[in-house]
Structure 1
Amino acid sequence: MMRETVTRYGRQGLGLLWLIGEPLLFCFGVIIMWSLIKPAYEHGVRIAPFIMTGYMCLLLLRHLVGANMNALQANGGLLYHRPVKVMHLYLSRCGLEIAGNTMAFFVVYLAMLAIRQVDLPHDLLLFYSGWFLLAFMGCGISFVFAGLALRYELFERVSPVLQYAMIPLSGVFTMMAWLPQHYRDILLKVPIPHTVEMVRAGMFGEFTPTYYDAGYAFAWAVALNFVGLVLLARAKHHLEME
């Protein structure tokens, strides 16, 4: 974990500063631009917390997938140490990304709260449940992507395209209540929007309509983690035979 911390954030911690600085700059930039062209509320929802929750969820998902795509290739030499297993490499990166992005979310939230752009969450338990369920699901997605990339070079090349395709399917830049029912029902077949809606339900409270099924999202998260672990185990043996 310490080795990954130095690799990810640098010895001076500048990477950690950027992890916090990137969403801050994005949120402030969008809020300033939005205030110039539109009112502070869209569909009855304040734009600042909407942008903040969506972008932080996107960053968590993106960082988890990106960190694990080359975890084995970058740290394969550590496997010569008997106590180090393949899953140690992936779990350490997952733990680091979840901790780093959670801390970044906390700092960004405090900054937005200080300038009165956001209020305190209405339901902290639901807010945290959605965030950590998204993290659990993101780990599963990253394991699946990493396992397929280890086995198939073509998948490694097309994975950036798939990650971009996940953005409109994740629901981070829209709310399910804003969509026509037909399209909402289709998008809610994807598990990721359920976790984002949970975060926003905890943020905005019961007076803002949200659509999610925590059980459905959790079942998908468990399935993705199981499939990902199987792929990583088999990919390791395939890699050793080469």
Structure 2
Amino acid sequence: MTASTERFEGPSRTRSSLSALSWMQAFFSRFAVQVRVVRALMIRDIMAQYGRQNLGFLWLIGEPMALIVGVIILWSLMKGSTTHGVSVVAFTLTGYSMLTLWRHLLTRGGNGLSRHATLLFHQNIRLLDILIAQILMEMISIFLSFLVCYLLLFLFGYVEPANDNLLLVSGWLLMSLFGAGMTLLLSGLTEMSKPLKRLLQPILYFTLPLTGAFAMCAWLPERARDVILVFPMVHAMELFRAGFMGERFTFYYNIWYLFAWGIGTFFLGLLVMKRAERHLHIG
């Protein structure tokens, strides 16, 4: 009886293992295709924006860097070398780099889905691939701009070495995750509601003070600090600055709160974007 049972279950288990293996092979094969698609879309977007003339793709880094350097110079002239005991150069470098990331990601989301519809004639391209390519491009280009500015300022003695690179990168990635979710969410909402697309720029400017770029939480009264910490962008900003400036200053952030907002917003953005695809007309 036992022997017959083993003979009966053996082929079933084999078929089940082969089925699972085939599924995994198909999944990784499809994933590799989508990675190549996203990479190709990133290159296409770079060439469309910057072309091959003059500095070409180097403007991908140079344009955000020029803005960051300009704001650093302006704030240094207005505030002097320090404010509240914090180096104005370090404060502006960290704040405006994150602010630029937030602004660029939300602007990408406000462009809507219709302008990318013609790319969907290609078999392997989906709307999610297009948006992910744009999000990755903004994440990488602005972070590289920050690194170049940081290295130059460090070499000339305007800033000290970053205190904790893990905190620094974690703050950037978590801000990018939340910003990516907002990009997907706004892309879907602006496709379903044209008036929202017109209101997006005013809404974007209203969110800028809520990023924590213009003041550290330690400078605020306790009641105001409790209010501002409701917004996840502030946690990302404080985390990023904590990694850069170190333990000499007090920072307020909750990594799990920020992570939860990022994951929740990202999945909500996926659902809204999926619904918005029904309103999309190609051709």
TM-score higher than 0.5: yes
Task: Please tell me whether residue 30 in structure 1 is matched to residue 71 in structure 2.
Answer: no
User: Distance in 1 between the 2:214 and 2:259 partners?
Assistant: 22
Q: 1:91 aligns with which of 123, 132, 136?
A: 132
Secondary structure at the residue paired with 2:249? coil
What are the equivalent positions in structure 2 for 1:163-182 lying under 5 Å apart? 163-182=204-223
2:96 is matched with 55
Secondary structure at the residue paired with 2:230? coil
Task: Please tell me whether residue 202 in structure 1 is matched to residue 243 in structure 2.
Answer: yes
Secondary structure at the residue paired with 1:54? helix
C-alpha deviation, 1:241, in angstroms: 9.5
Q: Does the 8 Å contact 1:122/1:203 carry over to 2?
A: yes
2:15 is matched with none
Uncovered stretches (5+) of structure 1, i.e. residues with no partner: none
Q: 1:159 aligns with which of 188, 200, 222?
A: 200
Q: Does the 8 Å contact 2:238/2:251 carry over to 1?
A: yes
Rg bigger for which structure? Answer: 2
C-alpha deviation, 1:220, in angstroms: 0.3
Secondary structure at the residue paired with 2:113? helix
User: Distance in 2 between the 1:92 and 1:153 partners?
Assistant: 24
1:207-240 deviations in Å (ceiling 9; x for gaps): 2000000100010001111111111111011224
Q: Does the 8 Å contact 2:117/2:282 carry over to 1?
A: no
C-alpha deviation, 1:9, in angstroms: 2.9
C-alpha deviation, 1:67, in angstroms: 2.2
RMSD: 1.6
2:24 is matched with none
Uncovered stretches (5+) of structure 2, i.e. residues with no partner: 1-41
Q: 1:20 aligns with which of 60, 65, 75?
A: 65
User: Distance in 2 between the 1:141 and 1:89 partners?
Assistant: 15
User: Distance in 2 between the 1:136 and 1:148 partners?
Assistant: 18
User: Distance in 2 between the 1:213 and 1:26 partners?
Assistant: 28
1:103-145 deviations in Å (ceiling 9; x for gaps): 1111111122122111111111111110111111111111111
User: Distance in 2 between the 1:15 and 1:159 partners?
Assistant: 26
Give the ranges of 4+ consecutive aligned residues of structure 1 lying more than 4 Å apart after TM superposition: none
Secondary structure at the residue paired with 1:210? coil
User: Distance in 2 between the 1:11 and 1:87 partners?
Assistant: 27
Q: Does the 8 Å contact 2:163/2:244 carry over to 1?
A: yes
C-alpha deviation, 1:71, in angstroms: 5.5
Q: Does the 8 Å contact 2:164/2:244 carry over to 1?
A: yes
Task: Please tell me whether residue 213 in structure 1 is matched to residue 254 in structure 2.
Answer: yes
In structure 1, what residue type is equivalent to 2:82?
Answer: Y
Task: Please tell me whether residue 102 in structure 1 is matched to residue 147 in structure 2.
Answer: no
1:174-204 deviations in Å (ceiling 9; x for gaps): 0000000001001101111000000111111
Cα distance change, pair 33–43 in 1 and its aligned pair in 2 (3 A): closer
User: Distance in 2 between the 1:15 and 1:122 partners?
Assistant: 29
Q: Does the 8 Å contact 2:82/2:88 carry over to 1?
A: yes
Task: State percent identity of aligned pairs.
Answer: 33
In structure 1, what residue type is equivalent to 2:76?
Answer: I
Q: 1:121 aligns with which of 162, 167, 172?
A: 162
What are the equivalent positions in structure 2 for 1:221-240 lying under 5 Å apart? 221-240=262-281
C-alpha deviation, 1:205, in angstroms: 1.1
Q: How many residues matched?
A: 238
Q: Does the 8 Å contact 2:114/2:281 carry over to 1?
A: no
User: Distance in 2 between the 1:241 and 1:119 partners?
Assistant: 52
User: Distance in 2 between the 1:178 and 1:200 partners?
Assistant: 14
